[in-house]
A and B are shown apart, each in its own frame.
Chain A
């Protein structure tokens, strides 16, 4: 089974702090993603990466950055946390698209982040 592990289930930080959310997958997947989930909005893509040291902006990248130094690890960074970044953050990974289809994404348990 695919295992995507997020470092924290719950996290409380203060406004202005630099926050790191870590994600590790054990299936040698090429693609990794960070989403945030808010009530009534579903999941929205923040950043994704399709290879080591590669990153691409998603739909809502403002206020975030990412790092992918190793294939299995994808970090989300809140440079200066603000209260509107209080949310549930979900990491996902998938195999690279093959000739036939986009592969399903496999998700971690999520990190519920509160910014005070």
Chain B
């Protein structure tokens, strides 16, 4: 069965701290895709990154970085030098190649609060 677990319900940090959001997934498919989305207080989900199961290279985009480890079925997201504007709910999601619905299976989200 497919499942995405974000065990951290809420994280609070002080500005400029580094913070890592955890994501663990379950799938029986050998080809799958992992995503991270950000949901600021305004409500819309903003796409951050997509990673396919054959590409285990870590990725860095500015202050954001992602660590994909198939061995532990994890796709963790780190924000370096956090800022108040990073405050949002972050969702990790899974999509399986064999699923004809293309649906995203979401974790329950992690609320990040960055305090000034």
A, B assembled together: yes
Q: Point out residues on A near B: beta carbons under 8 Å.
A: 9, 31, 33, 40-45, 48, 50, 56, 58-59, 88, 90, 92, 94, 97, 100-110, 112
Q: How far is the CA of A41 from the CA of B91 in the complex (A)?
A: 11
A101 to chain B, nearest CB (A): 5
B105 to chain A, nearest CB (A): 8
A21 to chain B, nearest CB (A): 14
> Which one of A31, A104, A107 contacts B50 once the chains associate, using CB atoms below 8 Å?
A104
We find that the number of chain B residues with CB closer than 8 angstroms to chain A is: 24
A54 to chain B, nearest CB (A): 12
> Which one of B35, B43, B101, B108 contacts A42 once the chains associate, using CB atoms below 8 Å?
B108
Q: Point out residues on B near A: beta carbons under 8 Å.
A: 4, 9, 33, 35, 37, 42-47, 50, 52, 91, 95, 97, 101-104, 106-109
Known contacts A101-B33, A102-B33, A108-B44; is-contact A41 B108 (Cβ 8 Å): yes
- Are B101 and A90 in touch, CB under 8 angstroms? no
Name the B residues within 8 Å of A43 (CB-CB). 45, 91, 104, 106
Q: Which residue of the partner chain B has the closest CB to A33?
A: B103
A113 to chain B, nearest CB (A): 13
Q: How far is the CA of A102 from the CA of B96 in the complex (A)?
A: 8
Q: How far is the CA of A110 from the CA of B104 in the complex (A)?
A: 17
Closest 9 CB pairs of A and B: A42-B106, A107-B45, A110-B43, A43-B106, A102-B95, A109-B44, A42-B108, A104-B47, A102-B33
Name the B residues within 8 Å of A107 (CB-CB). 37, 44-47
A-B contact pairs, 19 of them (CB 8 A): A40-B108, A42-B91, A43-B45, A45-B101, A56-B101, A88-B43, A97-B97, A102-B50, A104-B47, A104-B50, A105-B102, A105-B104, A106-B47, A107-B37, A107-B44, A107-B45, A107-B47, A109-B42, A110-B44
